């Protein structure tokens, strides 16, 4: 086996956002776009963007504050 397994779209989006955080394009404290705008930015449905944000929360990279938005809280090592 080559190890090339299909990857969920939301994981690819989360990986792209994580890469932006690593590069410094999205520094700690930066606000992520809302789900609709993020979906348009990455060419995915808003629900996929929502799942990508949930994945980033699970990775400990962002936090979502009710009525405020989603913010970068950590830089991956």
Contact 9, 44 (CB under 8 A): yes
d(CA 2, CA 4): 5
Confidence band, pLDDT 50/70/90 cuts, at residue 76: confident
Mean pLDDT across 45-65 = 97
- pLDDT tens for residues 12-52? 999 999 999 999 999 999 999 999 999 999 999 999 999 99
| pLDDT on residue 71 | 97
Q: Assign 73 to helix, strand or coil.
A: coil
pLDDT(1) > 50: no
């Amino acid at each position: 086996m080559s190890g090339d397994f299909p990857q969920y779209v939301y994981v690819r989006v989360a990986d792209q956002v994580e890469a932006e955080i690593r590069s410094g394009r999205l520094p700690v404290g930066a606000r992520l776009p809302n789900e609709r705008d993020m979906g348009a930015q990455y060419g995915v449905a808003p629900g996929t963007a929502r799942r990508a944000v949930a994945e980033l929360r699970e990775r400990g990279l962002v936090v979502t504050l009710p009525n405020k938005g989603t913010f970068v809280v950590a830089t991956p090592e």
